[in-house]
Amino acid sequence: MLARTADNLFWLARQMERADFTARMIEATLRLEYLPRSGVEDPAVEWEGTLNAVGAYDAYIAGCERIEEASAIDFLTFDRGNPSSICNCLENARANGRAVRTALTVETWTAINDAWLELKRFEAKRRPGKDLDREALTRFLDYVKKASLDFDGSCYRTMLRNDAYWFNRLGVFVERADNTARLLDVKYHLLLPSNETVGGSLDYFQWVAILRAVSAATAYHWVYRDRVKPWLIADLLILKTAMPRSLIACYVGIDSSLDSLAREDGRSGVAQRQARATLASLERSSMDDIFQNGLHEFITDFIEDNARLAAAISEQYLFV
């Protein structure tokens, strides 16, 4: 396979996954806005967290002096100046998909193209200088999540298990791991064990919002059969292989995909070794050890390791 083709497949999957995560974060933040607040709490704090979680805070601040709901939503959804906006992610995903059209099945290409066409219809409904109303925004976010599910499902159900499929899966898992880790990094202060009384209504809904942002609310109750506890949320999203968006589950997928690529071309490299090392580290970890050494430090190291792995994949397969 040409390096350019592998690069397009890798980034096609990353951009579809990123659009989905951004939509989920906006949705979760909107839910939190309905919660009662004390007079000193600033609603902008939640939007600052969302911008940080999707890696767009610095870019937003460079163009806007204040964090406000309307401008933050516009920046994350339709702003062409934000490289990671949902609009840009879907457009770039379609451009990458179109460049490797022959490597995709009809169903996979249709899922990508339909997502782009629906995006254009939403853009056409927006009046110049006007934001989508709450009902229209909800429909837009639901459509983005559905587009990602359609893409993911079509890849899983129709693509031949060859190098094209494995590069696609690599993109999904690398991006998903980064997204989950960034969410945990932004919310880690809520997840730390404390000697103080926890479980207030605001805390509870913030924790549930974290679970819903990664579609894990039902999974949490199936696994723990207990009320929502912050340290159990961290355990679910870091160390539970049964949870598809957990860090360890993502690295099981990354390791499997890289091994499959190694079997395809008959050689293994730095990317395979690095992925195995990260997976082995996660398998040896326990939440007691993670909290003792520092949850924030653990997550920060993971994000950096994941970025190094993405760079190693690019270098090994000559994306760069």
Q: What is the pLDDT of residues 212-270, one digit of tens each?
A: 888 898 999 999 988 888 889 999 999 999 999 999 999 999 999 999 999 988 788 99
- Evaluate whether 47 touches 31 at the Cβ level (below 8 Å): no
Q: What is the pLDDT of residues 24-74, one digit of tens each?
A: 999 988 887 766 555 445 667 788 888 988 989 999 998 887 888 889 999
Per the model's pLDDT, the better-predicted residue between 133 and 57 turns out to be 57
Identify which of 148, 189, 162 has the alpha carbon closest to the alpha carbon of residue 52.
189
Q: What is the pLDDT of residues 137-184, one digit of tens each?
A: 999 999 999 999 999 999 999 999 999 999 999 999 999 999 999 998
In the predicted model, is pLDDT for residue 205 greater than 90?
Answer: no
Give dist(CA 311, CA 212) in Å, integer: 30
- Evaluate whether 14 touches 172 at the Cβ level (below 8 Å): yes
- Evaluate whether 147 touches 186 at the Cβ level (below 8 Å): no
> Would you place residue 202 in the very low, low, confident or very high pLDDT band (cuts 50, 70, 90)?
low
Give dist(CA 89, CA 97) in Å, integer: 12
